[in-house]
A and B are shown apart, each in its own frame.
Chain A
Amino acid sequence: MLAKTLRASLLILALPLTGCVTATVDEMVFNEPVHGIGDASVVILGRRHASDYETEPDFIECVGDHIAARDKAITVVGELDFINALYPWFEPRTAPLYPEDLEKLMQQAPVAQRLAELRTHYMIWIDGSTVRTDSAGSMTCGIGPGGAGCFGFGTWGNDSNYEATIWDFTNRAEVGRINATASGQSYMPAVVVPIPIIAPVQGTACDSVGDQLLKFLSSEH
């Protein structure tokens, strides 16, 4: 009986426990794409000029991986690779804020040549962050000769808010804008062993943005 209970407990611990997440996606399309990007590439960049937050590099990577995994034909240029290849023109201080700024940038022969080599068709700027909104509860952990354990309950909320702006590099124009918000509450009850029930807020926002972007970039979606 004890063995069965222990086995059941271990099974519960092994299960991926996740909290609930509510996500909303808004989309504005200025120029409906008619086909995929073919053999061109796309770059996804994070905006980092705000003083109190910055778009997380791992979120940018997550969106890129999401797109690349669902359409193998799309080449997603890594953010750091792109920024390094075009240093110093895409640093927070110097990055173009409007599609028209690209024209000025392209007047520099080495920059134009590098961008041609990269065959960038779409440039996607993502601005936003995930923040912890509230937290409550308390947990106490102890260690003694007989073993260690925790007791208590904790809960916290996370909010994600991201806006993706899509620039068509060929026409130097903004072709669409996607806004994704997600919020969720995570819980951590602990009776000897803490059991985290995490709401994948940032992951849901990443999937939402990635799915919408695929509509622009992929001929299969």
Chain B
Amino acid sequence: MSGSMTSGPEGQTIPRWRALPRSLALLLCCALLAACGPNEVAVKGQFPTPLMNKLPLNIGVWYDEGFRTHEFFDEAKGRAESGWIVKTGEAQTQMWDTVLPGMFTSVVHMKGKPEPGQMNQAVDAVLIPHVDELQYAIPTHTNVKVYEIWMRYRFELVGPGGKPLAEWTMTAYGKTPTAFLQSDEAAVNLAAVVALRDAGANFATNFTRVPQVQDWLAQRQAPPAGVAGTQPAPAAEGSL
């Protein structure tokens, strides 16, 4: 048998044709071990800028650590199922960084979480988004040929010093049908991108309908009590 030699333990040489089955077996073991791990999806997608009249507000945004690195882990419930890790943090910040500048005159990232004593940029208010819950469904769970992602957000709108102005929740949903030659991971990614788009659409179209936000906007436009002749703040030129 011709062929090159490879070095074995204790300096002895092993013919390559004998080493090959060992390498293949090792590769197979690695592949089998990898198959035992959870399915992992780091959500990636493109998000468009909203087409709307901008609200004349200088809004700050603060993404906390949990939001920036948000991931969802679902442990396998049986031998027949596999666990899932869905990492949405990067896509979340990408989406909100695209949607918010399309909604407000100015958007700035805060240096720190707004609270008393924290030095920050001067803004009208700071938006702090949180992902409170994420659920997913794949065809093996439901017998319906769609992949689904559902999220519940919680938003805090606070003053630059951390004074609470409004707090509300919002849901987002995305689904995608099964497709030929589409992996579970690709389908879950697509469903997550649809859910993120839905979150942006829901937020953009309903922000000014949140009662506490409406009150805050009304207060900004009203003249301060007891000050005669004060000019009101310019009315919002944008309407949603």
Q: Which residues of A contact B (CB under 8 A)?
A: 52-54, 56, 84-89, 91-94, 108-111, 114, 129
Contact = CB atoms under 8 A, between A and B. Distances in A.
Nearest to B172: A93
A84 B52 contact: no
B20 to A, nearest CB: 18
A89 B197 contact: no
Nearest to B203: A88
Contact of A114 (B51, B53, B176, B201): B51
Nearest to A48: B175
A5 B132 CA distance: 66
A87 B198 CA distance: 10
B197 A108 contact: no
A87 B204 CA distance: 10
A108 to B, nearest CB: 6
Given A53-B177, A54-B175, A94-B201, A89 B146 contact: no
Interface string B140-157: 000010100000000000
Describe B's contact surface by its main secondary structure. mixed
Nearest to B148: A51
B204 A88 contact: yes
Given A53-B177, A94-B205, A87 B49 contact: yes
13 contacts: A52-B146, A54-B146, A84-B48, A85-B51, A87-B48, A87-B49, A88-B201, A88-B204, A91-B198, A91-B201, A108-B53, A110-B53, A111-B51
Smallest CB-CB A-B distances: 10 pairs: A88-B201, A87-B48, A91-B201, A84-B48, A110-B51, A88-B204, A94-B201, A88-B50, A93-B201, A54-B177
Contacts of B49: 87
Given A87-B49, A111-B51, 20 more contacts: A52-B144, A52-B146, A53-B146, A53-B177, A54-B176, A85-B51, A86-B51, A87-B51, A87-B197, A88-B50, A88-B51, A88-B52, A88-B201, A89-B51, A91-B197, A92-B198, A93-B205, A94-B205, A109-B53, A114-B51
A87 B201 contact: yes
B200 interface: yes
Given A54-B177, A56-B177, A94-B205, A88 B200 contact: yes
Contacts of A91: 197-198, 201
Nearest to A84: B48
Nearest to B98: A87
Contacts of A52: 144, 146
B6 interface: no
Contacts of A84: 48
Contact of A108 (B52, B175, B200): B52
Interface string B193-208: 0000110111011000
Interface string B112-134: 00000000000000000000000
Contact of B198 (A54, A56, A93, A114): A93
Nearest to B46: A84
Contacts of A109: 53
A158 B204 CA distance: 40
Contacts of B177: 53-54, 56, 129
Nearest to B239: A108
A54 B187 CA distance: 14
Contacts of B176: 54
A52 B198 CA distance: 17
A114 B50 CA distance: 12
A51 to B, nearest CB: 8
A114 to B, nearest CB: 6
A89 B202 CA distance: 10
A112 B93 CA distance: 29
- Most chain B CB neighbours (cut-off 10 Å) among A85, A110, A114: A110
